[in-house]
Amino acid sequence: MEKITTRLMNWASILDEGTRAQAETTATMPFIYPHLALMPDAHLGKGATVGSVIPTLGAIMPAAVGVDIGCGMVAVRTQFHVDELPADRSVVRRAIASAIPLSAGARNPRISRTHTAERVTELESLADEAGFDPGRYASVWDLQLGTLGSGNHFLEVTLDEEDRVWLFLHSGSRGVGNKIAQHHIGVARTFCERSWIDLPDPDLAYLVEGTDEFWSYIRQMRWAQHYALLNREEMMDRMLTCLAEWTGAAVERIEEINCHHNYTESEKHFGKQVWLSRKGAISARTGEAGLIPGSMGTASYVVSGLGNPLSLMSAPHGAGRVYSRTRARKTFTIEQLREAMVGIEFEDSAAFLDEIPAAYKDIDQVMADASDLVEIRHTLRQIVNVKGT
């Protein structure tokens, strides 16, 4: 761990100057208490660095929570061993890609599953309690429940160190979460402008606790966090069905972990109740189970938190980009992607060049940097990968 300033603690051994400067700027905001914790996977983000743990007193910065509110991972360990799986893995890849709409803007044609309808009803009830209509942000929010999205989101069949079969996925609150975030980022900017508040970056605009605008954001953000959690549960249900049909046997859920990495909670740290925003970070209290995915084609990890107080009991959420998507597409070739994905069933397409493992930090180095934040329980390696473009 490196103490950059009294208000910025850094766990990233791989840190470019732009990312460092962005984190230093965020740490100067007057309501940060006691300090910002920069995770090993830190990289440039909107306003605040992705891979930041940001405790605030009496204020919250919507852009520092992230625009994919509630984004996170879920993993389920099944009873299967790799030897019990059919040889042709393309069958289950195609089945998963058919059962779960992929890519930006994707939606279900209709709500046809009972468990989907039950989750939509739950979210409608929670929206009523929060006093808002999610349809105002995204008219198809209900049809997007159980859809993946694009970018670094994925659906995978993986094996642990004992060759036991896990299902693992990464996604968030889809279009409705993004629209909620963008709306409140705009509200915060307007508030700061009208209050003549001079900001070092417009995306560090904030809302003050006690105002209607603040509590409106909190209520809607919490709804979006729950949407993201149910979205992952919905996709996992469908993946389990695909696995059952592929193997010809009912699937047992031996262990399940579902965790956010773009969210805010009220937590107590260093003697004070703060709003703790984890933007690209997971909670890592002592003994708490968590998930840290690598990039496409590299290992992912099931971890247990060590409760490090300086990190505000947090840990990284993944590998962290070192190449922008545009630069990655210009730098790498489809042959390099194929080489990186040897032994993994995936859609062989240049559309995924920006997700090549070389565009990300070395996950092994990230985990080494996080050695005082989490301990590794399981190392997962993909055998099937499904992504959206």
What was the pLDDT predicted at 128? Answer: 98
Find the mean pLDDT for residues 112-137.
96
- Please check whether residue 222 is in contact with residue 263, taking contact to mean a CB–CB distance below 8 angstroms: no
Nearest Cα neighbor of 364 from 321, 323, 319, 322 is: 319
Find the mean pLDDT for residues 146-152.
94
Dump pLDDT digits (tens) for 191-249.
999 999 999 999 999 999 999 999 999 999 999 999 999 999 999 999 999 999 999 99
Supply φ then ψ for residue 25, to 5 degrees.
Answer: -65, -45
Q: What is the pTM of this model?
A: 0.96
Domain at 88, CATH number: 3.90.1860.10
- Structural domain including 61 reads 2-386
Dump pLDDT digits (tens) for 274-283.
999 999 999 9
- The answer to whether residue 46 scores a pLDDT higher than 90 is no
Find the mean pLDDT for residues 251-256.
97
Dump pLDDT digits (tens) for 76-104.
999 999 999 999 999 999 999 999 999 88
- The answer to whether residue 47 scores a pLDDT higher than 90 is no
Q: pLDDT grade, residue 12 (50/70/90)?
A: very high
Dump pLDDT digits (tens) for 154-170.
999 999 999 999 999 99
User: Domain tally for the chain?
Assistant: 1
What was the pLDDT predicted at 389? Answer: 85
**What residues act catalytically?**
317
Alpha carbon distance 378, 389 (integer Å): 29
